């Protein structure tokens, strides 16, 4: 079938809106119709060549959809089901799935690395018949797409599509960093760097656990009001203090924060997060730095200070489980996901969504499909 999509043909070029050919779903695959997709920084990074995506490719990985047609062997969903797409569908059988680390699934990782579905082939072609690559087995910048059944997580149909889409990436990534990887306990102190799409969700995730203090850290002074609206108790601007770890120790009886969660991906912020955690505290790097960037820790401090560094990817838990946990909290009014949704736009305006992300708008641009 033909469907409208936004195709990336070249790094640093605008996405091209055009009709593409989508093949039938094969074994344990599902044809879905997108209902909403967020414009996430990982899409923008890929369009700029970070991670060297295979081209041409259809980006988009933060999405809600409706099941249209099921391929052979599909048992989890049926046509008409409303779903959140997981951009890390997992096989359930490999070493990492059995280690309860499904976001490291070997089957998913191999296919994502070559831009295909699990069988190593693509279901997307240009009208001329050339192969187009899949992105994270989601490729949601398209009206229709074929995805693995394992990436389809059914949700209640009354959840607004734009909210469901954000749960597919930013919300789960940030929430899970605080709840699964940091595992914030009540009455503690948390510091969070980078108050963007992921950082705000880390903040809300931490708040659900009832900490005594949430310190937001961001170089943009406008983020102070945003962070406090979402539950931060304090704000530190690295541009306005001499030494960020010292500023955080001053707020935490000289010890440092019990948990530091770094969502900006800037190397200096990752180092600040390490030094701002108290001895035996937990440091959670979430933000993605560029491949060539490095961070430096004083070697002597690593054993002496007994800090735990816990890398966090897609929330560090089981995305399918966390989607439901998050939507349950949303229903109870404990996660203000509505406040995350910014401008909504048709797929034709996707390049505007990238531009707004680049300009640092505080809310998420969401493409909604008719
Ligand atoms: Zn994302
Ligand atoms: Zn697996």
Which-ligand-closest: CA of 111? 2
Q: Where in the chain is the domain with CATH 3.40.50.720?
A: 173-313
Span 316-325, pLDDT tens digits: 999 999 999 9
* Contacts of 99-105 spanning 24+ positions with Cβ under 8 A: 100/318, 102/318, 102/319, 103/313, 103/314, 103/315, 103/316, 103/319, 104/313
Which-ligand-closest: CA of 95? 2
- pLDDT exceeds cutoff 80 at 168: yes
Question: Which helix (H) or strand (E) is 28 found in, with range?
Answer: none
- pLDDT exceeds cutoff 90 at 360: no
- pLDDT exceeds cutoff 80 at 152: yes
What is the layout of strands, in order, in the sheet containing 2-7?
A: 2-7, 16-22, 124-125, 131-132
Q: Which residue has the tokens 């070493």?
A: 95
CATH architecture of 2-154+336-368: Alpha-Beta Complex (3.90)
User: 290: pLDDT confidence band, cut at 50, 70 and 90?
Assistant: confident
Sign of the torsion angle spanned by Cα atoms 235, 241, 243, 247: negative
Cα 149 to ligand 2 centroid, rounded to whole Å: 14
The percentage of residues in the chain with a pLDDT greater than 90, rounded to a whole number, is 94
How far, in Å, CA of 286 to CA of 366, rounded?
Answer: 22
Cα 2 to ligand 1 centroid, rounded to whole Å: 26
Cα 166 to ligand 1 centroid, rounded to whole Å: 9
Q: Do residues 46 and 61 make contact, with C-beta atoms less than 8 angstroms apart?
A: no
How far, in Å, CA of 367 to CA of 281, rounded?
Answer: 39
Cα 280 to ligand 1 centroid, rounded to whole Å: 30
pLDDT score at 109: 95
Q: Where in the chain is the domain with CATH 3.90.180.10?
A: 2-154+336-368
Nearest to 280, CA basis, from 303, 255, 308: 308
Cα 109 to ligand 2 centroid, rounded to whole Å: 9
Which-ligand-closest: CA of 101? 2
Cα 98 to ligand 2 centroid, rounded to whole Å: 8
Span 171-220, pLDDT tens digits: 999 999 999 999 999 999 999 999 998 999 999 999 999 999 999 999 99
How far, in Å, CA of 326 to CA of 334, rounded?
Answer: 9
How far, in Å, CA of 235 to CA of 217, rounded?
Answer: 6
Q: What's the mean pLDDT when you consider all of the chain?
A: 96
Cα 105 to ligand 2 centroid, rounded to whole Å: 4
Give the β-pairing of 189-193 and 257-262.
parallel
User: 148: pLDDT confidence band, cut at 50, 70 and 90?
Assistant: very high
CATH architecture of 173-313: 3-Layer(aba) Sandwich (3.40)
Cα 95 to ligand 2 centroid, rounded to whole Å: 7
Cα 93 to ligand 2 centroid, rounded to whole Å: 5
The percentage of residues in the chain with a pLDDT greater than 70, rounded to a whole number, is 100
How far, in Å, CA of 168 to CA of 139, rounded?
Answer: 13
pLDDT score at 93: 96
How far, in Å, CA of 77 to CA of 153, rounded?
Answer: 8
pTM: 0.96
Span 66-85, pLDDT tens digits: 999 999 999 999 999 999 99
- pLDDT exceeds cutoff 90 at 362: no
- pLDDT exceeds cutoff 80 at 65: yes
Helix (H, G, I), strand (E, B) or coil at 258: strand
């Amino acid at each position: 079938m033909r469907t409208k999509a936004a195709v990336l043909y070249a790094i640093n070029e605008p996405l091209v809106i055009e009709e593409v050919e989508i093949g039938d779903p094969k074994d344990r695959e599902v044809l879905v119709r997108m209902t909403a997709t967020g414009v996430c920084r990982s899409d923008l990074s890929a369009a700029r060549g970070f991670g060297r995506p295979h081209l041409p490719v259809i980006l988009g990985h933060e999405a809600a959809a409706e099941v249209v047609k099921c391929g052979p062997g599909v048992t989890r969903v049926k046509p008409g089901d409303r779903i959140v797409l997981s951009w890390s569908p997992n096989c359930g059988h490999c070493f990492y799935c059995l280690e309860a680390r499904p976001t490291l699934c070997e089957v998913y990782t191999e296919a994502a690395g070559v831009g295909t579905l699990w069988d190593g082939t693509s279901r997307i072609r240009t009208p001329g018949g050339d192969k187009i690559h899949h992105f994270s087995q989601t490729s949601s910048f398209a009206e229709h797409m074929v995805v693995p059944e394992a990436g389809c997580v059914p949700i209640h149909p009354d959840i607004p599509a734009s909210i469901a889409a954000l749960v597919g990436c930013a919300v789960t990534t940030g929430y899970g960093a605080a709840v699964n990887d940091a595992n914030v306990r009540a009455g503690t102190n948390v510091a969070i760097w980078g108050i963007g799409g992921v950082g705000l969700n880390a903040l809300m995730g931490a708040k659900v656990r009832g900490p005594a203090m949430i310190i937001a850290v961001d170089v943009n002074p406008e983020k102070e009001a945003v962070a406090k609206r979402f539950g931060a108790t304090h704000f530190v601007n690295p541009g306005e203090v001499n030494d960020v770890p010292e500023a955080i120790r001053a707020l935490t009886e000289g010890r440092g924060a019990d948990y530091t969660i770094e969502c900006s991906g800037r190397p200096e912020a990752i180092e600040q997060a390490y030094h701002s955690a108290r001895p035996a505290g937990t440091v959670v790097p979430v933000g993605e730095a560029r491949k060539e960037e490095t961070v430096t820790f004083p070697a002597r401090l690593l054993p002496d200070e007994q800090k735990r560094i816990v890398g966090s990817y897609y929330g560090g838990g089981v995305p399918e489980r966390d989607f439901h946990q998050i939507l349950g909290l949303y229903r109870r009014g404990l996660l203000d996901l509505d406040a995350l949704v910014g401008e909504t736009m048709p797929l034709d305006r996707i390049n505007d969504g990238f531009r707004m992300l680049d300009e640092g708008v505080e809310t998420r641009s969401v493409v909604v499909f008719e």
